[in-house]
Structure 1
Amino acid sequence: MERLRTSLTTKIFLAIAVTSALVIGTMALLVALSMRDGFSQYLLRGELNRFGRLTRELALAHDPAAPGWPDLAADPRAFNDFVRTHFAPPGGADAEEVAADPLMIGDRLALVGPDGTRIAGTMARTAIFDQRPICIDRGCREGAPLGYLRLNAPVLTDSASDAFFLRGQYASLAYAAFVALLVSAAAAYLIAQQILTPIKRLQAGAKTLASGDYASRIPLDRTDELGDLIAHYNELAETLARTSQAEREWISNTSHELQTPLAVLRAQIEALQDGVRQADDATLAEMHAAQMRLSRLVQDLKILSYSREPNLLAQSTHEDLVEIVVEAVEMARPALEAAGITITCDMPEHLPLKCDRTRIAQVVDNLLQNTRRYTDAPGTLGLRIWHSGGMAHLSVDDTPPSPPDDILPRLFDRFSRAEASRSRALGGSGLGLSVCKAIVEAHGGTITAAKSALGGLNITFTLPDGRP
């Protein structure tokens, strides 16, 4: 793993450093070429400035009746003599000396017409050249130029001062490129470390999570994408910690709930074996009640274990929600009335619904039994069904007592009770509302708990209707 981290560091460093080196090298090369050509152009422009007298004399020698200086075009020596006569060399050099130097005049100077055609002088034209217009007046304000003096850049520069200047510029450019490369390398290293530091933290955190320790968190000190990844890691660790705690509580509560009916059955069986009790109707009824409670608990656990699997619902068919509710109410009415609870219903004649009929009937029965266990007598149960926004709604309200405010958000948690001892005394397992939530959500619906307008608890669930 250490080799992998080193490889990643090297890859990031090389990717940034090599890219920077290529960019800097390319820019240095282009600047060097531009500097050489630019310096040649600069020298050429300076040389052309010395041809002021020659251009004036060419303008005076121009004959409008015979444009193009035919006398100079007919005889190359005439053009050379004209230049030698009217060119003012710098530094007081002798005109004959200047004319004999090919780098100054002979091989580089040409007289061209307004359209660029050569009239006299050198026939060659190098890649770098400049030209000076020949005008009747200064600036050619009274018409187009009569022609141009074109001067080519020298192919080789033998001047020691020029070579010294270029060498100095190249050296400065090379030094600047070297410094830029060092800065780029340092920046590449810092960027690589800036990227790899949080990655190493995430790697260490992942090892910690894999070992089963969900308490570790990574400090969130970034606001970029890696910061988002660290935030997601911390959320994952928090979720795993809650899940682990819930799993431990689930196992503890499940074993405790299973222990109660099993203890009752064991006590009854041992009493029968010891002859303390007889297998009469009362004893068998108690044993049957304990067995039924154990069976309901196992069934609820099975439903909750399948809550996130598609096979929780046997088959969804087109049903009538009102018909399902009426059947459930009629079955629960004797027990509710025996507990002193009056039932009131407000529902339409029909409400089509695509659902698993058995599971929805189980939800309604759980809600009715929940009211029977927790509502004081005399009490009232209000059941209402309505349709709105393409959804079927069912609401169950009851009279006091009402669960405490801090219990409401946890009513649908497994083994959640507002008062544990009372629930066990009435045979509740603490799974009824959890089962309701699992079934409703498996149908694509929602279920909520709130304070009831009647003073007790309100449970409302919403399901997609079966209308096309």
Structure 2
Amino acid sequence: LRGELKRFDTLVRELALAHNPETPGWPALAEDPRAWNDFVRAHFSPPGNPDQEEVNSDPLMIGDRLALLNVSGLRIAGAPKRTATFDQRPICVERRCDEGATLGYIRLNAPVFSDSTSDAFFIRGQYASLAFSALIALLVSAAAAFLIARQILIPIKRLEAGAKTLASGDYSKRIDKDRTDELGDLIAHYNVLAETLARTSQAEREWISNTSHELQTPLAVLRAQIEALQDGVRQPNQETLAEMHAAQMRLSRLVQDLKILTYSRELGLVADLGCEDLVEIALEAVEIARPAFDAAKLEVECAFPETLPLSCDRARIAQVIDNLLQNVARYTDAPGKVRLRLWRADGFAHVSIDDTPPATPDDVLPRLFDRFFRAEGSRSRALGGSGLGLSVCKAIVEAHGGRITASQSELGGLNVTFTLPEKRP
């Protein structure tokens, strides 16, 4: 209503000019209703109907809604009834509506639709347009929802099918990543999971196969010796018993190594922690390995500090150093040299073991710590190796929070270095 009243600027101005102070209240307009209608028609035209002759016939029904009021708010001319919703605008001299300058008001009622045929037709047209617009909006929304749902449901169904495939034990299926949103990231994670499960399954099969193979050799030796004794082919002399004992010890070592690797991810692998002197542990390991070094004609060189305190499991760290020294004695050509060094740096204790040729090929170095891996399988098995020694070393070192690496040695052979934190967190 307030917006409509702004259109009556000309009418308000002309009413102010037509006002006579000597006879206030526009008596000429009050005495003759036709005069009011003519006055309104002369100074106001409905929007969109500049040539309309009858105000009362305009679509906005201004003639039935507009009224002229005096200063007291009493009707002078125009619409006789006031609806529940209305607004009014003051008529002032030269648009100054200070106290005492108001001449009267024009009042505009809210429109009330009649039941005329034209009004009913207009309303039906509006309803039809609204219904058509709502139908178009519904169809567009349904189409958009279908496309969006299709874009979301298709990758979800592919992920569902992939999950069922993984659950059935088939890890070879991959999903094409053709999206860059969150679902695309989920597909990428699925592919990584499938690849990880495939590698784990393959490693498990290899682990079981290699374990069975390694256990078979000492068991076969023991069986052959026992059957030979039963058949009387061999006598239970010192030589036979020594061979049987060697096979049994190899089997025991293998079972112990398997046990360590099985528990490598459990806290129980490193259970007896204490403050130990790494120099003392290394010296004991060298003395234990010295007969093997002398038999293999290997010279031992040690470079130790006076002391190197360390928080560790003494038996496990001694096992690591012993395994590394035994590998050197087993695989280094005679005559040769072994260099064992210990030092402290950046809060870590460092242990390095170098030997002379033969050297390990560069492409083999990254796999030296894999379970059952042998750089030369026949030679390793002939010398009593199972391919688990370095894997055991890695498991023990990592259980202490350390790291072990292999590289080419300055002496021409292999260098194995491992680091241990001086104080465990």
Q: Normalized against structure 2, the TM-score is what?
A: 0.83
Q: Indicate conservation of the 8 Å contact 1:108/1:153, yes or no.
A: no
CA shift for structure 1 position 346: 2.5
Tell me, in whole angstroms, the C-alpha distance in 2 between the residues paired with 1:201 and 1:247: 28
Specify which of 292, 317, 339 is matched with residue 360 of structure 1. 317
Q: 1:236–1:57: structure 2 CA closer, same or farther, 3 Å change rule?
A: closer
Tell me, in whole angstroms, the C-alpha distance in 2 between the residues paired with 1:455 and 1:128: 106
Q: Indicate conservation of the 8 Å contact 2:86/2:107, yes or no.
A: no
Count of equivalent residues: 404
Amino acid at match of 1:243: T
**Cross-structure match for 2:303:** 346
**Cross-structure match for 2:10:** 52
Q: Indicate conservation of the 8 Å contact 2:66/2:108, yes or no.
A: yes
**Cross-structure match for 1:34:** none
Q: 1:268–1:54: structure 2 CA closer, same or farther, 3 Å change rule?
A: closer
Tell me, in whole angstroms, the C-alpha distance in 2 between the residues paired with 1:429 and 1:130: 105
Q: 1:443–1:388: structure 2 CA closer, same or farther, 3 Å change rule?
A: same
CA shift for structure 1 position 157: 4.6
Extract unaligned runs of 5+ from structure 2: 43-51
CA shift for structure 1 position 146: 4.6
**Cross-structure match for 1:89:** 41
Specify which of 112, 125, 146 is matched with residue 189 of structure 1. 146
Tell me, in whole angstroms, the C-alpha distance in 2 between the residues paired with 1:279 and 1:205: 61
SS of structure 2 residue aligned to 1:214:
coil
Specify which of 326, 337, 349 is matched with residue 369 of structure 1. 326
Tell me, in whole angstroms, the C-alpha distance in 2 between the residues paired with 1:228 and 1:284: 63
**Cross-structure match for 1:21:** none
Q: Name the % identity.
A: 64
Once the two structures are superposed, what CA deviation does each residue of 1:152-200 show, in whole Å capped at 9, x if it has no partner?
2333356655554444333222212111111212222232232222222
The 10-residue stretch of structure 1 (84-93 or 371-380) with the greater mean CA deviation from structure 2: 84-93
More helix by share: 1
SS of structure 2 residue aligned to 1:422:
helix
Once the two structures are superposed, what CA deviation does each residue of 1:40-63 show, in whole Å capped at 9, x if it has no partner?
777x459x54x7356324245375
Q: 1:348–1:123: structure 2 CA closer, same or farther, 3 Å change rule?
A: farther
Is 1:255 matched up with 2:205?
A: no
Q: Which has the higher contact order (CA 8 A, sep 6+)?
A: 1
Q: Normalized against structure 1, the TM-score is what?
A: 0.76
Specify which of 164, 171, 179 is matched with residue 207 of structure 1. 164
**Cross-structure match for 1:61:** 19
CA shift for structure 1 position 236: 1.8
Tell me, in whole angstroms, the C-alpha distance in 1 between the residues paired with 2:270 and 2:173: 39
Q: 1:134–1:429: structure 2 CA closer, same or farther, 3 Å change rule?
A: same
**Cross-structure match for 1:29:** none
**Cross-structure match for 1:454:** 411
Give matches, 1:8-47, under 5 Å.
44=4
Q: 1:421–1:70: structure 2 CA closer, same or farther, 3 Å change rule?
A: farther
Tell me, in whole angstroms, the C-alpha distance in 2 between the residues paired with 1:434 and 1:124: 99
Once the two structures are superposed, what CA deviation does each residue of 1:249-301 show, in whole Å capped at 9, x if it has no partner?
21221122112222222222233233333322222222211111111011101
The 10-residue stretch of structure 1 (78-87 or 196-205) with the greater mean CA deviation from structure 2: 78-87
**Cross-structure match for 2:30:** 80
Q: Indicate conservation of the 8 Å contact 2:298/2:336, yes or no.
A: yes
Tell me, in whole angstroms, the C-alpha distance in 2 between the residues paired with 1:268 and 1:357: 37
CA shift for structure 1 position 143: 8.3
**Cross-structure match for 1:436:** 393
Tell me, in whole angstroms, the C-alpha distance in 2 between the residues paired with 1:157 and 1:342: 119
Q: 1:157–1:346: structure 2 CA closer, same or farther, 3 Å change rule?
A: farther
Tell me, in whole angstroms, the C-alpha distance in 2 between the residues paired with 1:368 and 1:427: 15
Give matches, 1:116-131, under 5 Å.
118=73, 124=82, 126-127=84-85, 129=87, 131=89
Aligned-residue RMSD, C-alpha: 3.3
Tell me, in whole angstroms, the C-alpha distance in 1 between the residues paired with 2:424 and 2:160: 52
Q: Indicate conservation of the 8 Å contact 1:392/1:464, yes or no.
A: yes
Tell me, in whole angstroms, the C-alpha distance in 2 between the residues paired with 1:467 and 1:104: 92
CA shift for structure 1 position 85: 4.2
Q: 1:406–1:130: structure 2 CA closer, same or farther, 3 Å change rule?
A: farther
